[in-house]
Chain A
Amino acid sequence: MKRLLRDRRGLFGAVVLAAALLLAVAAPLVTSGDPNAQRDIVATRFVAPLSTDGTGVFHVLGTDRFGRDVWTRLVYGARVSLGVGLLAVLISVTLGVTVGALAGYGRGAVPLTLLGLTDFALAVPRVVLLLLLAALWRPSTALVIVVLGLTGWMSVARLVHGEVRALAARPFVEGAVALGARRLRVLVRHILPNAVTPVIVAAALGVGNAITLEASLSFLGLGVQPPTPSWGNMIASGRDVLVNAPWVATAPGLVLVLVVVACTLLGDAVRDAMEPSAPLS
């Protein structure tokens, strides 16, 4: 942990993510309230950042075409975008660890079947699959979470499979087996706890990836549906007004990039911190 925070990348990633989560949780306290609030549209739309609208209300990041406060939508959008990212990765990590562990330590036909399944799922073009799945049902936030979770577990499964196979041959595992522990107990109590680090790294990268994919789907109109704000559909709504209100699309994009960079850097830092032989870079 100390190594992690001494690493500038780890510190930056942790601070940015903590700040984003804090803002998302404390959304009602740091904003003017309802992200969908519309008042006199003519007087309040397209107000530039750091200025006051026709009714005397100040907007830090300006307003969009319906006179909604961009800062408020950004913070409430963080709830949706971060929530989707975290929950989707929770699903894919759970699936990936289960499949990877069973493939790495299972017996008989189990490993071959599961590895085959993983290879198959990896070969399916993800964005095409996302398009199809999103078209199958009416787009909704829950659907986005499930779809992203179900299409993101393969890399974790591969990773865990490799780790488990390597760990299974180590003396402490052989010791546990020799003492008569059941296979499931060996797997859960002795092997998996030692395979946690790469999973954390993969999860950190996965969150960033899921947030980007949610934004992409929402941008195409297949993800989180307006008026619920997500960073993706905010960028989409700013697309037509790039000329007279560039802040509408710019602000959510910048925040998204910042958060995804934070995820990547934190993942890198965790990986390096857990490899004591590697020099701090």
Chain B
Amino acid sequence: MLTRLAARALAGFGVVAGVVTLTFFALRFAPGDPVEHLLGSAATAEQLAVQRHVLGLDRPVPVQYTAWVSRFVRGDWGISIAKGRPVRTVLADAWPATVRLVGLSLLLSYLLGIAVGAVQAHRQGSRTDTALSVITVTLFAVPGFWLGLMLVMVFTYWAHALPAFGAAGLDADYLTTWGRIVDGLRHLALPLATLTLIGIGGSARFIRGAMMDLSSQPFVTTAHAKGLSPWRVTWRHTLRNALTPVVTLLGLSLPTLFSGAILVEAVFAWPGVGRVLVEAVQARDYPVVMAATAVSAGLVVVGNLLADVLAGWLDPRIGTRTT
């Protein structure tokens, strides 16, 4: 088990290195560079050249690459060219907003999705099941950015009930602690609802499928034969065994939610990592793009690894499998 994990961690490290390298060279060969964005169209060729020299962008690309890698691994992530602030600060400022949004929506969409899927599997073939299936397959198909826009239309423009943009109101600094919490929650409501609704679609469909596959297994028949109530069989026996693949899915959806959040963050002007990344790509802000890519690739790998460990812990048979 440990050697297997070590091997996977090593492979994961290779993946991160590969992604980062690919991104670095892709960025350098993309048209446009940060200096053009920084100085604008009025700059002369001379001014551009001077600025490029100052930033070291006129050195050969492989030299820039090794320089970046050696500084990055030592924790020196550089300074954002567009913003003039250290990359670490830029990302550190954006992280809490993304974690708050993505973490909560992961939690909610799995809790609600498991409940919905379990109810469906329990009442398989009933009208409730069909109705819930229609709802979940629709939620699963809805693009996040469009659902976000629709929620903004209804709750912000029509009902005037919730704010649509940003993570805090303009007056947030002047509110009491309690008022600031309420303000934050109100801003969180629509983006969180968007991500959660879409997440429920996926997790409910998955749980229903997993539980229905299990329903013909001998241990379920045994549980029924023991005279347990149908609800107890569903909750204590079928659902518990269906949770192993869910844990794997949870690990895999950690990065998916991160990337899905890019679009939802764009719609709601949510000050998270997704928005930082989109802005940085557009401004060719090399240091920020590189750091954000490295972190998100790292998350993918950690998510996979975590899923592996948790699945092995829930189902001891997995650890001994050799493939």
| Residue positions of A touching B, CB distance < 8 A | 119-120, 123-128, 131-133, 135-138, 208, 212, 215-216, 219-220, 235, 238-239, 242-243, 246, 249-250, 253, 256-257, 260-261, 263-265, 281
Contact = CB atoms under 8 A, between A and B. Distances in A.
A125 B255 contact: yes
Given A128-B293, A132-B281, A246-B153, A257 B300 contact: no
B151 to A, nearest CB: 11
Q: Which 9 A-B pairs have the closest CB atoms?
A: A127-B259, A260-B141, A253-B146, A123-B15, A136-B30, A261-B141, A242-B153, A212-B143, A243-B157
Contacts of A126: 259
A143 to B, nearest CB: 13
B12 A123 contact: yes
A281 B297 contact: no
Question: Is chain A's interface secondary structure helix, strand, loop, or mixed overall?
Answer: helix
Contacts of B141: 208, 212, 257, 260-261, 263-264
| Listed residue (A132, A246, A250) with the most chain B CB atoms within 10 angstroms of its CB | A132
B77 interface: no
Interface string B144-187: 11100110110001000000000000000000000000000000
A198 to B, nearest CB: 15
Given A125-B293, A126-B259, A253-B146, 4 more contacts: A125-B19, A242-B157, A249-B153, A253-B150
Contact of B142 (A127, A242, A257, A265): A257
A38 B297 CA distance: 46
B124 A281 contact: yes
A256 B255 CA distance: 25
B296 interface: yes
Given A212-B143, A239-B149, A131 B281 contact: yes
B281 A123 contact: no
Contact of B278 (A220, A246, A264): A220
Contacts of A242: 149, 152-153, 157
